[in-house]
């Protein structure tokens, strides 16, 4: 009897352990199933926008003076006069500084005296040469005497030329004691004033710049340059000859600019080409160093595809967007972008135009992710930026 009881109890225990094992296995299976099926990611999406769009390329740049010069004195000495205020507009040839003239005036007087003495000596020897020439023709003096007088006259003539050069140099130095504006323009503020000593060719007295017209220095990619060099606006103007200038406060500068300088090569490190555009500056509103945005109008793109800038993800110098399919699964597509249009990018290639894009939550998804999309509109882009 005891043996039968033990056999039944052993069988019951074995069945219980087997059932427990199945339950544990089933529990583990359910956990694995839950891990393989993560919750859908909440994102905001938008349809690709399609409409006729001005193809306006925008570039950032800085204002440069047409001409700029650092003024230095050609003579050394103390400043004895300063005839402008910092920031003044000065005219070409206007006297800006005077340097102590006493030494240079003495050198000038000495050079004048030396030249006068040399000319007197030359005149005396020239008269002797005339007399000896006649005497030689009459065989009254020897050839040796005649040649000696002629050599003395020629030497005196050379001395006159040498003293003329000394006088000219003294006159130049005397003139250089007045530092004049090399062109018309605006002059910088200067800490140098009367009494300061300046070294010839070393001490910068002030900086001048001619700011009408001015140039805007900016860069663009090789592909943009190739496109814009042959593009025209809807009015027929060449894209690089009808540039608009937007100032840092958002105001549009009156008047169009034209590219008049293109660098000789593409930058090896940046792959960009440097250009300069010329703008008139009659009211002196533009100043060197100012930040500016240039806009080049390349005409209207019919039925253009536009996508939000925040929908674009950059990886390894390539641009990608995440699209959402009818099954709410995410796919990744590489796109080629054109000009900026407000908060949007103009798409040149990579999309068909009927895609739904992930706009908010781009960093949370990958190809194959399941998402829970919430639609947003173009107006929402502006509203969110104000919040």
Tell me which CATH code domain 74-99+178-202 carries: 2.40.50.100
Question: What pLDDT score does 19 carry?
Answer: 46
Sheet with strand 197-198: strands edge to edge: 178-180, 95-99, 77-82, 197-198
Q: pLDDT tens, 166-191?
A: 999 999 999 999 999 999 988 987 77
Q: Name residue 43's beta-bridge partners.
A: 373
Degrees (nearest 5) of the Cα angle 236, 239, 242?
85
Task: Please name the residue that has the structure tokens 């829970």.
Answer: 372
Predicted local confidence at residue 21, as pLDDT: 52
pLDDT, one tens digit per residue, over 254-271 is: 888 999 999 988 888 778
Q: What is the pTM of this model?
A: 0.64
pLDDT for 172 equals 96
Q: State the chain's mean pLDDT as an integer.
A: 88
CB under 8 A, 24+ apart: contacts of 270-273: 270/219, 271/221, 271/222, 272/219, 272/220, 272/221, 272/222, 273/219, 273/220, 273/221, 273/222, 273/225
Q: What is the CATH number of domain 47-64+209-386?
A: 2.40.30.170
Preceding omega of 213 cis (within 30 degrees of 0) = yes
Q: Cα separation of 95 and 176, whole Å?
A: 11
Domain ranges for the chain, please list them.
47-64+209-386, 74-99+178-202, 101-176
Residue 95: pLDDT over 50? yes
pLDDT tens digit string along 18-53?
A: 545 544 444 555 555 455 567 889 999 999 999 999
**How many Cβ atoms from other residues are within 10 Å of residue 210's Cβ?**
18
Query: Of the ranges 81-85, 94-98, 282-286, 333-337, which one carries the lowest mean pLDDT score?
Result: 282-286
Q: Which CATH number fits domain 101-176: 3.40.50.970, 3.40.30.10, 1.10.287.470, 2.120.10.90?
A: 1.10.287.470
Spatial contact of 286 and 64, defined as CB atoms under 8 Å apart: no
Dump strand ranges (E) for 133-241.
Answer: 178-180, 185-187, 197-198, 204-221
What mean pLDDT comes out for the span 228-254?
Answer: 91
- What's the pLDDT at 191? 73
N-to-C CA span, the chain? 85
Instruction: Tell me the C-alpha distance between 320 and 62, whole Å.
Output: 31
């Amino acid at each position: 009897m005891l043996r039968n009881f033990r056999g039944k109890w052993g069988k019951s225990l074995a069945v219980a352990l087997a059932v427990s094992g199945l339950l544990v296995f089933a529990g583990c299976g359910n956990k694995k199933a839950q891990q393989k099926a993560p919750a859908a990611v909440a994102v905001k999406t938008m349809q690709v926008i399609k409409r006729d769009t001005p193809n306006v390329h925008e570039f950032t740049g800085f204002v440069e003076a047409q001409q700029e010069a650092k003024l230095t004195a050609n003579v050394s000495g103390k400043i004895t006069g300063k005839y402008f205020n910092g920031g003044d507009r000065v005219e070409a040839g206007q006297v800006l500084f005077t340097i102590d003239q006493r030494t240079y005036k003495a050198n000038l007087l000495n050079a004048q005296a030396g030249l006068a003495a040399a000319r007197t000596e030359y005149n005396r020897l020239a008269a002797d040469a005339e007399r000896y020439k006649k005497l030689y023709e009459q065989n009254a003096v020897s050839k040796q005497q005649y040649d000696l007088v002629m050599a003395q006259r020629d030497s005196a003539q050379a001395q006159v030329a040498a003293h003329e050069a000394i006088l000219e140099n003294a006159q130049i130095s005397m003139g250089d004691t007045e530092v004049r504006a090399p062109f018309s323009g605006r002059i910088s503020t200067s800490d140098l004033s009367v009494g300061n000593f300046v070294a010839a060719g070393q001490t910068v007295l002030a900086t001048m710049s001619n700011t009408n017209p001015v140039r805007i220095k900016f860069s663009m990619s090789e592909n943009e340059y190739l496109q814009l060099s042959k593009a025209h606006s809807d009015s027929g103007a060449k894209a690089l000859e009808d540039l608009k200038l937007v100032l840092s406060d958002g105001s549009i500068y009156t008047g169009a600019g034209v590219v008049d300088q293109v660098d000789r090569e593409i930058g090896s490190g940046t792959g960009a080409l440097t250009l300069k555009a010329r703008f008139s500056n009659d009211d002196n509103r533009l100043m060197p160093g100012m930040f500016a945005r240039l806009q080049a109008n390349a005409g209207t793109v019919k039925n253009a595809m536009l996508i939000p800038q925040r929908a674009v993800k950059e990886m390894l110098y390539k641009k990608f967007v995440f699209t959402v399919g009818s099954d709410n699964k995410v796919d990744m597509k590489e796109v080629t972008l054109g000009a900026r249009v407000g908060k949007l990018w103009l798409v040149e290639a990579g999309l068909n135009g009927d895609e739904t894009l992930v706009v908010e939550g781009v960093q949370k998804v990958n190809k194959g992710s399941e998402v829970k999309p919430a639609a947003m509109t173009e107006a929402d882009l502006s509203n969110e930026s104000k919040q």
